[in-house]
Structure 1
Amino acid sequence: MATVEPSDIAKLAQLARIAVSEQQSGEVASRITEVLNLVDQLQAADTRDVEPMAHPLDAVQRLRADQVTEQNRREAFQAIAPAVEDGLYLVPRVIEE
């Protein structure tokens, strides 16, 4: 059985940079202790004959064929762009040196 003390909560709160008052630390410690005890119960379960699952449902995702469905309109888009050079869009510099 794991037990978390209020002093442990104060250390964790400082490391996590969160504010936990002394009044709250007792309640937080008991809740974390409950969670750790639940984890201990789950780890105690015998899972030797249980086959791992990739997904709990036997659903299959239908995928579409990987095919190009649109025409190449690069030239049309670059024709209306404000500034293009060597097939690239020119944009204003945003980083100063």
Structure 2
Amino acid sequence: MRTLAIAAILAALSVPASAGPIERACLQSDRPGASRGLCGCIQEVADLTLSRGDQNRAVKFFRDPHQAQEVRQSDRRSDERFWQRYKKFGATAANYCG
């Protein structure tokens, strides 16, 4: 029972419960340099520049980067509008988070 409780606490500490979808995806990614501080900063920028729906859509890019390319090259107007918002988010995060 004690081992189970310790495992649950460690799992909870690995990704904060209050973390947003971008922060969780960032922390769970295998990208070098992904840290709690950096991923939290990126989430802050996402909260300021992307809707929750856009954030959930962008999370898929962490799992499958090719999806970003598909959206970027899409002829659909909705994809084009999302891509513009996503580019703004990326540029802002790069400036703000270093």
| TM band (smaller chain) | under 0.3
What TM-score, normalized by structure 1, do the two folds share?
A: 0.24
What TM-score, normalized by structure 2, do the two folds share?
A: 0.23
Higher relative contact order (CA 8 A, sep 6+): 2
Higher helix residue share: 2
Higher strand residue share: 1
Q: In terms of Rg, which structure is larger?
A: 1
